[in-house]
A and B are shown apart, each in its own frame.
Chain A
Amino acid sequence: MDLFAFDDLYVRRLKEHDRETEDHFDKYFRSLLFVKLRKRLPAQDIDDMTQDVFAGVLARLEELRDSRKLGAFVLGFCNNLLLERYRKESRTEPLNEVHEETIPGKSNTEAELLNEETAASVRHVLSSMRDRREADILRAIFLEDEDRDEICRRFDVDAQYLRVLLHRAKKDFKAAYRRKSKR
């Protein structure tokens, strides 16, 4: 975790286009916006939306009243842009809740997040699980990450079990990923 604080100094540096602060802002919020947008937008549109959010936020930093709430400010911008996009879509497209991924694509952030180390770390987590059944459940979560009920029924576990399993896997993954990234 980075040691930094969203405070008046950080925001002032952003306003002054301090290179280091801008780089940090970009890196930090690009990941968070990707996490938020990955299930809401087609992959190929995520980078464009992220750029629009950044441009809007940086142009209107004067409106930020509390520097500690920079994250909420960025999120608010993102929500407004999403809303605008949905309004346009609802005028031009039929309302439909199940979207087929017809256009293959990958955002730059996705490519950054997915690398050799991440895949190797997941393999390590799966292979080091002593309980074969737990590894199967985790694979099922990864493969079919939308319908938890089906996984619960199939493996006869409840939602709490999945959360705990995911929590432990995440912890192991982080440790493995840190080790592999340092090499």
Chain B
Amino acid sequence: MKHEDAISNHSVERYLLGEMLEDEQGIFEEHYFDCRICAADVTDGTRMMMAGRVVAAEDVQPSNVIPMRGSRFRWFPSAAAASLIFGLLGGGAGYRLAQVRHEHPTELVRVVRIDTGVFRAGTPGDVPTVRAGDELRFDVEPDDNALQYAARITCGGKLQSRHGISREMAADAISLRLGELPAGRCELVIEGVREDGNRFAITSSPFNVGER
């Protein structure tokens, strides 16, 4: 990454806001570890975000509170890398960590082959049931407006995990290793991420999580 690119892409702000996918984060980190300007900017920004959290928590008023989730989402690449097993990961950042269990993954979204030869995510006729540790396999419906894709799993309306999917990755079927999820109804939501960072809905697929 060139410094001009970092500036024009608002990389520092996007990094601080947690907008970057894992691959993109890695590329930007490679840049700012050797770029004194971006390094100072990222450090100052982090300082502000950390102090901001403390200050904002001190003077919380009803008008500026966004309901916090019960558990704070933390992006742990270990778990992320361990649970997302992409077909194209060999060409990625090299974070291939998980020992793949050789069990048949659950097809979350029924794969429908359409005339163009592109795999398209469809609506499942019946809702599959999975268990923690299972693999879910799904396709991402390609969309020209998407620079990349974002997948998230929610259970009972509560966010459980988020995953970034590059266009390259989305070209193949994606396997997602499930971590601990509460038993009950959950949903996999796929969104497209436009160049400006805004998102739009693509598919939403329900599944049940069974008791252990």
A interface residues, Cβ below 8 angstroms from B: 1-2, 4, 6, 28-29, 31-32, 34-36, 38-40, 68-72, 74-75, 79, 82-83, 85-87, 89-91, 94-101, 110, 113-114, 118-119, 121-123, 125-126, 135-136, 138-152, 154, 158-160, 162-164, 166-167, 169-170, 173-174, 177
Contact = CB atoms under 8 A, between A and B. Distances in A.
B78 A98 contact: no
Contacts of A91: 99
Contacts of B72: 100-101, 146
Question: Chain B CB within 10 Å — which of A95, A136, A177 has the most?
Answer: A95
Contacts of B94: 83
Top 4 A-B pairs, shortest CB-CB distance: A86-B78, A142-B52, A159-B197, A71-B33
A141 B19 CA distance: 12
Question: Chain A CB within 10 Å — which of B43, B55, B71, B199 has the most?
Answer: B55
Contact of B179 (A32, A94, A145): A94
Given A136-B64, A177-B44, A83 B95 contact: yes
B178 to A, nearest CB: 8
A123 B56 CA distance: 9
B119 interface: no
Nearest to A123: B55
B199 to A, nearest CB: 6
A163 B13 contact: yes
A71 B34 contact: yes
B161 to A, nearest CB: 4
Contact of A145 (B12, B47, B49): B49
B35 to A, nearest CB: 8
A113 B66 contact: no
A31 B44 CA distance: 10
A90 B78 contact: yes
Interface of B: 10, 12-14, 16-19, 26, 29-30, 32-37, 39-57, 59-60, 63-66, 68, 71-83, 94-95, 97-99, 132-133, 159-162, 177-180, 196-199
Contacts of A114: 47, 50-51, 54
Contacts of A140: 56, 64, 66
Given A89-B78, A114-B50, 17 more contacts: A1-B40, A40-B78, A74-B33, A85-B78, A89-B79, A90-B82, A91-B99, A94-B179, A97-B160, A101-B72, A110-B50, A139-B59, A143-B53, A143-B65, A146-B72, A159-B198, A169-B48
Given A69-B34, A75-B30, A83-B97, A143 B57 contact: yes
Contacts of A6: 34
7 contacts: A32-B32, A79-B26, A83-B97, A96-B180, A100-B72, A122-B55, A159-B196
A95 B179 contact: yes
